Amino acid sequence: MGSNDRLFEVSRRAMLSAFAAFTAFPMLHTPAMAQTAVTDPLPSWNDTVTKKAIVTFVERVTKQGSPDLVPSAERIATFDNDGTLWAEQPMYFQLAFALDRVKALAPLHPEWKDKEPFASLLKGDLKAALGGEAAIFQIVTVTHSGMTTVEFDQIVRDWIATARHPVTERLYTEMVYQPMLELLAYLRGNGFKTFIVSGGGIDFMRGFADRIYGIPPEQIVGSSGKLNFELRDGKPVLVKLPELDFNDDKTGKPVGIQMHIGRRPIAAFGNSDGDLQMLEWAKGGAGVRFALIVHHTDAEREWAYDRTSSIGRLDKALDTAEAMGWTVVDMKNDWKEIFPFGSK
C-alpha cells in the first residue's frame, strides 16, 4: 500500500469505528445497525491486556445493569496532549511554534541580534538558544503576548496549517496518535465528555484541538497568561500580557480540572511525570476509575524515551503506575498503527 492509500485506509477504519461507537447507543439500535456495532471500535490497538483493560473499564461503567454504572454526566475523561495525543519529539510542538515566531518577528526587533537567547536562535544555534528554562520562558513569553486573543488565534491557525515536523516532514496536525483518536471517539460514543488537560498553552491548543481531536475550546484546560480587557476604538479586546497566570502541570493539573470542570474525572490519560497528580486525582475518587500512561517504547516507528528524557520524562509516574496497577501502554506492542499516515 502506498502511504496515501494507507492514510485513507486508516482514516476509513477510524470513521467506521467512530460510527460503530455512535451506534452503540441503545436508542439508535435497529437490526441493520446492530451489525455495524460489532465492528471493533479500537482497530489500531493490538489485542493485548491494555486494550482489554480499556474495554473492560468502559463496559463496567456504561453497561445498563452493571453495578458500577456511572451516570453519563459523570463520565469525565481527561487527556494530556503532548506525548499522549500527539508526539512531542524532538521538541514540544508549541516550542517549534515559538521559534518560528521569533524568526517571523525578528525584523520588528532589531535589538534581538545582540540579545540572548534571540541572537543565538537567529544565528541558528538552537542548542545555545535553548540552554535553560529561563531562555525558553523568555522565548515563549515574547511570542505569546502583546497581541489580542483574536490575533493570537489567527497566528496559531496560520502556523499550524503549514508548519511541518522536522523529522517526518508531516504537518504537526498529522502527528497525532491514531489509537488515541479511536479511544477519544470510543469514549464519546459511550457518553463520555472528553477534555484536554495539558501543560501546553490553552489558547494555542484551541487553534486546532476541535478539528483534530473533536474537543471544543470549552473542554480544553491548559497553561495561560494573564489577560487584560480593553476598549480599542470602542471595540472590546482581550490583550495577552507577558505574565504567567496558571501553570497547568503536575499539581496544577488537578487544580485546573477543579477550576474548569468541577468534577473529578473517572478516567485520565497521560504519558509523563507531569501527569502523575492528574492520574492520582482521577483514581482517588469513589467507584471504578481508570488511569492510563502512554509509554514511548518504539524507537523505530516513533521515539523511545522515559526516565532520563528532558522532554516528557516518565520516571516517578512509571513507578507509581507499576505499584498501583495502572494501565501502561507499551506503544511498540500495544499499537498496530502509530500515526494516521503510518509511522516515522
List interacting residues with its own copies (CB under 8 A): 73, 76, 149, 193, 202-203, 206, 210, 216-220, 224, 227-229, 231, 235-236, 238, 251, 254-255, 258-263, 277, 280-281, 284
Q: Edge-to-edge strand order for the sheet containing 267-270?
A: 235-246, 220-232, 193-201, 76-79, 267-270, 290-295, 327-330
Query: Please, how many CA atoms are within 13 Å of residue 247, restricted to the half-sphere of its CB?
Result: 7
301: which 3 cell numbers? 516507528
Distances (CA, A) of 148 to 96, 241, 321: 21, 9, 41
Q: Min. distance of Cβ 159 from its own copies in angstroms?
A: 18
Phi and psi angles of residue 256, each rounded to the nearest 5 degrees, phi first: -60, -40
Query: Considering beta carbons, is residue 153 or 174 the nearer one to its own copies?
Result: 153
Query: Considering beta carbons, is residue 169 or 233 the nearer one to its own copies?
Result: 233
Q: Which residue has the cell 471517539?
A: 185
Burial grade of 142 (CB within 10 A; 0-12, 13-18, 19 or more): middle
Query: Considering beta carbons, is residue 33 or 227 the nearer one to its own copies?
Result: 227
Query: Considering beta carbons, is residue 163 or 238 the nearer one to its own copies?
Result: 238
Which three-class secondary structure string do you get for 144-192?
CCCCEHHHHHHHHHHHHHHCECCCCCCEHHHCECHHHHHHHHHHHHCCC
Q: Min. distance of Cβ 77 from its own copies in angstroms?
A: 12
Q: Min. distance of Cβ 315 from its own copies in angstroms?
A: 18
Query: Considering beta carbons, is residue 215 or 338 the nearer one to its own copies?
Result: 215
Q: Min. distance of Cβ 71 from its own copies in angstroms?
A: 11
Q: Min. distance of Cβ 228 from its own copies in angstroms?
A: 8
Query: Considering beta carbons, is residue 99 or 266 the nearer one to its own copies?
Result: 266
Q: Is the peptide bond before 90 cis (omega within 30 degrees of 0)?
A: yes
Q: Min. distance of Cβ 196 from its own copies in angstroms?
A: 11
Q: Which residue has the cell 501543560?
A: 199
Q: Min. distance of Cβ 264 from its own copies in angstroms?
A: 9
Query: Considering beta carbons, is residue 47 or 151 the nearer one to its own copies?
Result: 151
Q: Report the distance separating Cα 73 and Cα 142, nearest Å.
A: 40
